[in-house]
A and B are shown apart, each in its own frame.
Chain A
Amino acid sequence: MSRSSGRSSPLTPYLQVAPLALIMLAMVGVPLITVVLLSFWQSDGISIYPEFTWANYAQVLTSPVTLTLFLNTLKYAALTLVATILIGFTCSYFLVFHVRNLKWQIGLFLLCTIPFWTSNVIRMVSWIPFLGREGVFNQALISAGMIDQPLDILLYSDFAVVLTYIHLFTLFMIVPIFNSMAKINPNLIEAARDAGASGWQILWTVIVPLSRTGIALGSIFVVTLVMGDFFVVRVMSGGQSASVVSAMKNQIDQLFYPEAAAMAVLLIVVVLLMVSAILRIVDIRSELAK
């Protein structure tokens, strides 16, 4: 931008980033620093003393619960990621390569967003009467004679949690994948076909590599959303499963802020590692600049 305006002062780019930088500093930077500080402080259950201690980290890192919690949360993240990528990729593929008419493309794309016109909570809670023991699905299966006993696994289970995540977060996968697929030059596919590539070869060697920016972006959204959730886990598992954040909430409720802060810092580190791993595989910045 500044390049085009020629005579602008060297300060211009700084002024341009200043508003966002200030907001990020105040709304993200300061709270983050507070959490990090808090994680090194001592507490006696109600008051917090600014005295340095490793005890919170010692407790978090030595407790076997921490590992269970992280593994459990990572399991949810992995399952959700695989499912949303499959659904997101298939939907986008259909929209981009099978729907030739631009109007239809846009229309169908908007159709994907309709469920997102209602709140997350409502979309989540509406699964409960559907999946419950006396819910619509179980009743239908029973009256169709397919089962005698209602299936308990449908609700208050890992299945219910992952299903809800997929329902809530798939759009975050569809949008970026659709975006990067739409940028693929059709000539490339023509060329591949002329060179004798089969449909699968085109998909695997042309389309997937060229959509990876979208997949990577979507993955970042989905992974961070799942890793930071506690509400879906609590409600859909009926409290039978815990995530990192739901354990953190138990600690916060009992005013054990420093332990919760140590856990939060650990979570941030893990999520940052995951995101940087994704960024290592796909150089999103250079891909987006294309």
Chain B
Amino acid sequence: MTTRTSKTGVSRRDFLKTSAAGAGAAVGSGILGAPMIWAQTIKDITLNQVGPSYSVIGDICEKASADLGFKIVPQTADSTQLMAKVVNQPETIDIADLEFWAMQKIWRSGQLQPVEVNRIAKWGDITPVMKDGKNFDGSAQSMQGTTPIKVMYTGGAGDTTFAASATDFATTLPTIFNADTVGIRPDLIGRPVDSWGELFNPEFKGKTALVNIPQIGIMDAAMAMEALGELTYGDKGNMTREEIDATINRLIGLKKDGQFRAFWSTFDESVNLMAGGEVVIQSMWSPAVTAVKSRGTACVYQGLKEGYRGWGLGMGLMSHLEGIKLEAAYEYLNWYLSGWQGAFIARQGYYSSVLSTTKEQLTANEWGYWYEGKAATEDILDPYGAVMDKAGAVRDGGSFEARMGHVACWNTVMDEERYMVQRWNEFVSS
């Protein structure tokens, strides 16, 4: 706590100098006048942060507002709604929490300005899986799909393309990420499950489900087809028309045979399918598994030998931010990496981009459970204080390195997306 307070103090003092100089508002000695000006202006600043519900969280914005002295207003929107908002109503957003695949789609709209790396104090501490395109052992990450490095950097202000390697300008400040896999009901399956191929196993006929988000659903299907040795993709994150056809045709065949019970679109649908026993294996998000468990139903977020499907998101600064508002936005971005937010979302099962500060804010037990894959020494609580796992439990999939270091492909949009969505519609209506 103490380290964080002093850090905030320093950065705020830096901030005062720049803002006073920039505004030319310093009267006389300046140093005495500036805090007054700052204290007055800062109260009037409001930043609208818009993003998905798992990222833009009221409690985090409240804590930040209290720490920083200006107001951050949270507003949740699905990634699809958010993309439309960024493109069509950019003035209604100040900070957009954008998934990396969404960045691939909307960065070129020019509605976002780059994040200047040298104004982010902890940039150097951000985990290499987010900003360097490297795994923990130094090997290159899977480049299938939207690997964060692909959309992380740009040439500078006004550049609507991505830079191939690190520059001083980031498109977003990476904040949270995770490795997705399938959720299973171990009590109803009764044997070990270790491959994506199990999604298509006739043993689970009528008891599997896929997520009905075309670009994610098709990738889960591709993982299964590759696991079964039916098709090897050049790039699961950017399929050719032939690969899309082969995958969708296989899915249509499976659907006609009654393999799938449902295709879910929302978080609660996936929870109910699993908790109600309609489905025993399906694509799932991590907190959905937690929600099933909290109802007293056995559910495992099963790591699979072919690897995970990774995703992540970052905070983007809208182009219209300038002057003191932009300064405030940078203050907020820096606050985000200072640990409190990292600890909060760790308790929901997500990872944050700066591990060192997150570790400071977690107890040794929590750090061991969430990040190191160790058995919990006492009960694990969620961010709101409810027990979500008992002492002795181990996180599904193990440590941070074991999970994030084993990502086979990343959530993405494909070049042939229009064709893919059309064929996905055909699959769903078949």
Contact = CB atoms under 8 A, between A and B. Distances in A.
Whether chain B is bound by chain A comes out as yes
Interface of A: 45-47, 59, 63-65, 68-69, 72, 128-129, 132-135, 152, 155-156, 234-235, 238-242, 246-247, 250-256, 259
9 contacts: A46-B108, A156-B262, A235-B269, A238-B269, A253-B78, A254-B214, A255-B83, A255-B84, A255-B87
B426 interface: yes
A46 B84 CA distance: 8
B206 A152 contact: yes
Given A133-B276, A255-B105, 17 more contacts: A46-B109, A63-B422, A65-B423, A134-B277, A238-B262, A238-B264, A238-B269, A239-B263, A241-B428, A242-B425, A247-B425, A250-B214, A250-B421, A250-B425, A253-B78, A254-B413, A255-B83
Contact of B428 (A135, A156, A240, A259): A240
Counting chain A CB atoms within 10 Å of each CB, the highest count among B105, B413, B428 belongs to: B428
Contact of A68 (B87, B209, B417, B429): B429
Interface in B250-295: 255, 260-265, 269, 272-273, 276-278
A132 B108 CA distance: 46
Contacts of A46: 83, 87, 105-106, 108-109
A254 B429 contact: no
B265 A234 contact: yes
Contacts of B264: 238-239
A250 B211 CA distance: 13
B255 A240 contact: yes
B262 A240 contact: yes
Counting chain A CB atoms within 10 Å of each CB, the highest count among B261, B265, B417, B422 belongs to: B422
A106 B413 CA distance: 57
Interface string B389-430: 000000000000000000000000100011001111110111
B211 to A, nearest CB: 9
A256 B424 CA distance: 14
Contacts of A247: 425, 428-429
Nearest to B109: A46
Interface of B: 78, 80, 83-84, 87, 105-106, 108-109, 206, 209, 212-214, 255, 260-265, 269, 272-273, 276-278, 413, 417-418, 421-426, 428-430
Nearest to A45: B105
Contact of A156 (B265, B278, B430): B278
B429 A69 contact: yes
A133 B273 CA distance: 10
B414 to A, nearest CB: 11
A48 B261 CA distance: 37
B87 A128 contact: no
A46 B160 CA distance: 13
A132 B417 CA distance: 34
A255 B102 CA distance: 11
A239 B278 contact: no
Nearest to A134: B277
Contacts, number: 98
B429 A72 contact: yes
Contacts of A254: 80, 214, 413, 417-418, 421
Contacts of B272: 128
B429 A239 contact: no
Counting chain A CB atoms within 10 Å of each CB, the highest count among B108, B212, B213 belongs to: B212
Given A250-B421, A255-B83, A64 B426 contact: yes
A64 B423 CA distance: 10
A169 to B, nearest CB: 22
Contacts of A69: 425, 429
Nearest to A132: B276
A152 B262 CA distance: 11
Given A156-B262, A239-B265, A65 B105 contact: no
Contacts of B105: 45-46, 255
Contacts of A63: 422
Nearest to B417: A254
A242 B421 contact: no
B226 to A, nearest CB: 24
B424 A250 contact: yes
Contacts of A68: 426, 429-430
Nearest to B106: A46
Given A46-B108, A254-B80, A255-B83, A132 B430 contact: no
Given A254-B417, A256-B418, A65 B429 contact: yes
Contacts of A47: 87, 109
A59 B106 CA distance: 24
A239 B262 contact: yes
Contacts of A242: 425, 428-429
A240 B87 contact: no
A128 B268 CA distance: 13
Nearest to A133: B278
B276 A134 contact: yes
Contact of B261 (A134, A238, A252): A238
By Cβ-Cβ distance, the 8 closest A-B pairs, closest first, are A238-B262, A239-B263, A242-B429, A253-B80, A65-B426, A239-B212, A247-B425, A242-B428
A238 B262 CA distance: 4
Counting chain B CB atoms within 10 Å of each CB, the highest count among A63, A69, A239, A242 belongs to: A239
A58 B218 CA distance: 25
A246 B78 CA distance: 17
Contacts of B413: 254
Given A254-B214, A255-B87, A65 B109 contact: no
A255 B425 CA distance: 15
B261 A256 contact: no
B277 to A, nearest CB: 5
A215 B221 CA distance: 47
Nearest to A156: B262
Contacts of B212: 234, 239
Given A47-B87, A128-B272, A240 B278 contact: no
A240 B426 contact: no
Nearest to B107: A46
B297 to A, nearest CB: 11
Nearest to B215: A254
A240 B263 contact: yes
A155 to B, nearest CB: 8
